[in-house]
Structure 1
Amino acid sequence: MDLSFIVSGFVVGLLVGLTGVGGGSLMTPVLTLMFGVSPSVAVGTDLAFASVTKTAGTATHRLRGTVRWDIVRLLCCGALPAALVATYGLKHFGALNKEIGHLIRVCIAGSVMLTVLAILFRGKMLAWMLAHPDRQLQGRTLAAATIVAGAVLGTLVTISSIGAGAVGATLLVLMYPRLTPAEVAGTDIAYAVPLTAIAAAGHWWLGSIDWMLLLTLLVGSVPGITLGSWFAKSMPERILRGMLATVLVTVAAKLVA
């Protein structure tokens, strides 16, 4: 096993544990920029990685009763068909050719920037929504918006492996501002399990998963996530998120360049 991949997995896992930001926004850019892994393989491998780790997280949240399964079903109604369509599109246009690789890099950069916005402004957006209850969606309109949000996330996640974490949680906060933080986290992780599993299966079909790389990353990330989660409460969250946002902006700029 390559020690540099293990260390990278550990560092990304540590940051995910400390900040709660999804690993895709960190792992995929690291693989493409630092190690020269092709964008398609980086996305496919990260999706397989996410499907394993999020399954364990969902089991924990289910035991704690912090998953809103009604919202999960609506998100999946949009996300799963979108993932299948996006996978077919990658297959049809050639997921491993140079032009599609560049498109995937741009999609990764865009998803990273959405993650940055989610990190920086989620609290302010939630405060605004709570202060303006008349602007909150209700009934069938809310259900339709949730399905559309799932479709957008399903497309982003399949193409870039990014979006199910911070972006998905931010959309949940905006549409369902009265969810507790634990319910947001649990619901966000739960819908991401079938989404990342289907998207990963699609990339396996496309031949864009490096299984040895996946195993190596898991060796480093599992202890990293555990350690980060353990120390999360003792670290200043505002400083951590500010530093992470700065890093992600730099990553997005390099991906586009």
Structure 2
Amino acid sequence: MDLILYIASGAAVGLAIGLTGVGGGSLMTPLLILFGFPYNVAIGTDLLYAAITKAGGVVSHQKQKTIQWRTVRMLALGSVPASVITALFLSQVFNDSTEYEGILTRSLGVMLVLTATVILLNGRLRQTVKITSESSNGFFARHNDAVIFLVGIFLGIFVTLSSVGAGAFCAAVLMVLYPHMPALKIVGTDIAHAVPLTLVAGLGHLIWLGNVDFMLLGCLLIGSLPAIHLGTRLARRIPSNILQTAIATLLLGMGVKFAVF
């Protein structure tokens, strides 16, 4: 019965990902915690789940030439080493997962709130970016590579600690830093960076912390992979704005709970 529940959960989250582009870490990790999995196992398993489910998206975007690989490299130069160091830090400093559970909980809460805020303010953020994009001599324009590298470090740390942030949050940052980049290229670049980051973070949880449940991972993938494809096809017929707002509101509530209570 549990296996059927996990497969159904994978299908539900996969459908949400296909319909809205949101949900890989931000929906799956809280759901696994709700099912009673320890925070560390939920986060570690979800990281590998995210890497596998997004890998197909990289191939698709590469065929469409909608990936800016230079930006992916700059992000990864910061995020991948930061992820490795974060996982090593947890394994060397703490003797047991219960000792760093509080760090994972607070990190998850903060990243859920940030992700929800980005989704809710997406339209306003786009308008602000359009207005400010004319000032091409701004700080971000002059120090773009350095800022992208620092953003990568931030993502490397907090995605490893929470499994959240490699998707919607990173895309919003790219939108601000690259106001003239087409939306499809932002999505492609975001996904191309998310795959190596979540893969390295997930392997860190697996190798050094033992935080991956392979039976659970298999069930989630069985349910989600076909559901993502279905959701992508249905997305043309269903307004995603309403669904994104509902998901963001849910994430905001869960984020506050994890961060504060």
The alignment's TM-score, normalised by the length of structure 1, stands at 0.95
SS across alignment from 2:236: helix
SS across alignment from 1:178: coil
Give 2:184's aligned residue: 182
- The answer to whether the 8 A contact 1:107-1:159 is kept is yes
Give 1:144's aligned residue: 146
* Count, aligned residues: 255
Q: 2-side partners of 1:64 and 1:137: how far apart?
A: 28
CA displacement at 1:98 relative to structure 2? 2.0
For the aligned residues, what is the CA RMSD? 1.5
Give the partner amino acid of 1:222: L
Structure 1 stretches of 4+ moved >6 Å: none
Give the partner amino acid of 1:125: L
Q: 2-side partners of 1:31 and 1:15: how far apart?
A: 16
Q: 1-side partners of 2:229 and 2:157: how far apart?
A: 30
- The answer to whether the 8 A contact 1:78-1:150 is kept is yes
How is 1:109-120 mapped onto 2 (pairs within 5 angstroms)?
109-120=109-120
Give 1:197's aligned residue: 199
Give 2:18's aligned residue: 17
- The answer to whether the 8 A contact 1:9-1:219 is kept is yes
Q: Do structure 1's residue 243 and structure 2's residue 253 form an aligned pair?
A: no
Give 1:232's aligned residue: 235
Give 1:27's aligned residue: 28
Which structure 1 residue ranges, 5 or more long, are not aligned? Answer: none
CA displacement at 1:118 relative to structure 2? 1.1
Q: 2-side partners of 1:12 and 1:125: how far apart?
A: 26
Give the partner amino acid of 2:165: G
2:221 to 218, 222, 228: 218
How is 1:35-114 mapped onto 2 (pairs within 5 angstroms)?
35-94=35-94, 96-114=96-114
CA displacement at 1:250 relative to structure 2? 2.3
- The answer to whether the 8 A contact 1:40-1:95 is kept is no
Task: Name which of structure 1's ranges 245-254 and 90-99 shifts more when overlaid on structure 2.
Answer: 90-99
Q: Do structure 1's residue 155 and structure 2's residue 124 form an aligned pair?
A: no
SS across alignment from 1:220: helix
- The answer to whether the 8 A contact 1:78-1:147 is kept is yes
Q: 1-side partners of 2:193 and 2:249: how far apart?
A: 28
CA displacement at 1:126 relative to structure 2? 2.3
Give the partner amino acid of 2:131: A
CA displacement at 1:136 relative to structure 2? 6.4
Q: Any idea what the Cα deviations from partners look like across 1:212-245, whole Å, max 9, x if unmatched? A: 1000000111121111111112112221111111
Q: 1-side partners of 2:212 and 2:175: how far apart?
A: 32
Task: Name which of structure 1's ranges 64-73 and 193-202 shifts more when overlaid on structure 2.
Answer: 193-202
SS across alignment from 1:137: helix
Q: 1-side partners of 2:23 and 2:157: how far apart?
A: 16
Q: 2-side partners of 1:176 and 1:247: how far apart?
A: 29
The percentage of aligned residue pairs carrying the same residue is 39
